[in-house]
Amino acid sequence: MHVPDGFIDAPVSLAAGVAAAGAVAVSLRGARRELDERAAPLAGLVAAFIFAVQMLNFPVAAGTSGHLLGGALAAILVGPYTGVLCVSVVLLMQGVLFADGGLTALGVNVVNMAVVTVVVAYAVFRALLKLLPDTRRSVTVASFAGALLSVPGAAVMFTLLYALGGTTDVPVGKVFTAMVGVHGLIGIGEAVITAATVGAVLAVRSDLVHGARRLASPLKLRIGGELVDAPAAAPAAAAARSGGSTRKVWATGLVTALVLAGFVSFYASASPDGLEKVAADQGIDQKVQEHAAADSPLADYSVKDVDDARLSGGLAGVIGVGATVAVGTGIFWTVRRRRAGDAAVLPTSPSAAG
Q: Which of 63, 87, 68, 70 is nearest to 269 (CA)?
A: 63
Instruction: Return contacts of 242-248, CB within 8 angstroms, 24+ apart.
Output: 242/205, 242/206, 242/207, 242/216, 243/204, 243/205, 246/38, 246/41, 246/42, 246/205, 246/208
- Whole-number pLDDT of residue 224: 59
pLDDT tens by residue, 131-187: 999 999 999 999 999 999 999 999 999 999 999 999 999 999 999 999 999 999 999
| Cα–Cα dist 74/4, whole Å | 24
Q: 224 — phi, psi (to 5°)?
A: 60, 30
Do residues 73 and 202 touch, judged by C-beta distance below 8 A?
A: no
Q: Minimum mean pLDDT among 9-18, 218-227, 290-299, 309-318: which range?
A: 218-227
Q: What is the pLDDT of residue 225?
A: 57
Distance CA 300, CA 285 (A): 18
Q: What local confidence, expressed as pLDDT, does residue 245 receive?
A: 66
Measure the CA dihedral 292/297/301/304, to 10°. 130
Question: Which one, of 293, 314, 311, 327, lies nearest residue 98 by Cα?
Answer: 293
Q: What 3-state DSSP class applies to 293?
A: coil
For the chain, which residues make up each domain, given as ranges? 10-353
pLDDT > 90: percent of the chain: 80
Percentage with pLDDT > 70 across the chain: 87
Residue 243 pLDDT > 60: no
The pLDDT value recorded for residue 345 is 54
Q: Above 60 in pLDDT, residue 110?
A: yes
Reply yes or no on whether the pLDDT at 220 is more than 80. no
Closest CA to 264 of 321, 306, 200: 321
Contact assessment for residue 109 and residue 95, using Cβ atoms and an 8 Å cutoff:
yes
- What's the CATH code, domain 10-353? 1.10.1760.20
**In this structure, which amino acid lies at residue 178?**
A
Q: For the segment 11-41, what is each residue's pLDDT rounded down to a tens digit?
A: 999 999 999 999 999 999 999 999 987 788 7
